[in-house]
A and B are shown apart, each in its own frame.
Chain A
Amino acid sequence: DAGVTQSPTHLIKTRGQQVTLRCSPKSGHDTVSWYQQALGQGPQFIFQYYEEEERQRGNFPDRFSGHQFPNYSSELNVNALLLGDSALYLCASSPVGGELFFGEGSRLTVL
């Protein structure tokens, strides 16, 4: 059983560009959450998707948007990249209210 998979694993962008990160949840999970983790910090909640709707959102600007597809996979889009957006972006899937299963993350570097 494949766990949570994320792509790409590493990418480099320049300021002002846009990026799309992808996530496939663990089989049987219908809820996907996205987190941003800066170096030396804990994961910070961006948003959560359930039934293709954004159910909850953390304290992130509208430059951060997402989508969930009918097969429960998800994308995170970040527009107008800033240097401060450099981080590890983690996707986690779960059954409703259950423990989170994290992917290995996408490491974004903004130059």
Chain B
Amino acid sequence: ENQVEHSPHFLGPQQGDVASMSCTYSVSRFNNLQWYRQNTGMGPKHLLSMYSAGYEKQKGRLNATLLKNGSSLYITAVQPEDSATYFCAVVGTMGGDMRFGAGTRLTVKP
């Protein structure tokens, strides 16, 4: 069964710092990895998708890298509004189900 693990579970940077988080996964087949963000009381929102090892993607202050069995997500110059839980989700086959980890809870201190 597909497994996704996050590190760290909690992160508390100061405003303006860089927040760094990662996930590792074990899947029988890999199609793509996606990062989502979830604010309390709301559904997750898609941030970005990556498709092959070595792939890097930048979106605003987000910077993500796909590794062989994991991914790193960096948020530069974090702001209090970045506070949320960030999830990595893996799709094993094209059009297949997406498996989520438990997430990294980011709380930015003003």
**What residues make up the interface of A, taking CB atoms closer than 8 Å to B?**
4, 31, 33, 35, 40-45, 48, 50, 55-56, 58-59, 90, 92, 96-97, 99-105
Q: How far is the CB of B33 from chain A (nearest CB, A)?
A: 11
Residues of A within 8 A of B27 (CB): none
Residues of B within 8 A of A31 (CB): 95
Q: Report yes or no: B43 in contact with A97, Cβ–Cβ below 8 A.
A: no
Residues of B within 8 A of A40 (CB): 102
Q: Report yes or no: A97 in contact with B97, Cβ–Cβ below 8 A.
A: no
Task: Select A42's contact among B34, B49, B91, B102, beta carbons within 8 Å.
Answer: B102
Q: Report yes or no: A102 in contact with B98, Cβ–Cβ below 8 A.
A: no
Q: Report yes or no: B95 in contact with A96, Cβ–Cβ below 8 A.
A: yes
Q: Report yes or no: A42 in contact with B45, Cβ–Cβ below 8 A.
A: no
Task: Select A102's contact among B43, B94, B103, beta carbons within 8 Å.
Answer: B43
Task: Select B100's contact among A43, A56, A105, beta carbons within 8 Å.
Answer: A43
Q: A42-B103, A59-B1 are in contact. Are A4 and B43 (CB under 8 A)?
A: yes
Whole-angstrom CA separation of A63 from B105 in the bound complex:
32
In chain B between 71 and 110, which residues have their CB closer than 8 angstroms to a CB of chain A? 87, 89, 91, 94-103
Q: Report yes or no: A56 in contact with B97, Cβ–Cβ below 8 A.
A: yes
Q: A59-B1, A90-B43, A102-B43 are in contact. Are A45 and B98 (CB under 8 A)?
A: yes
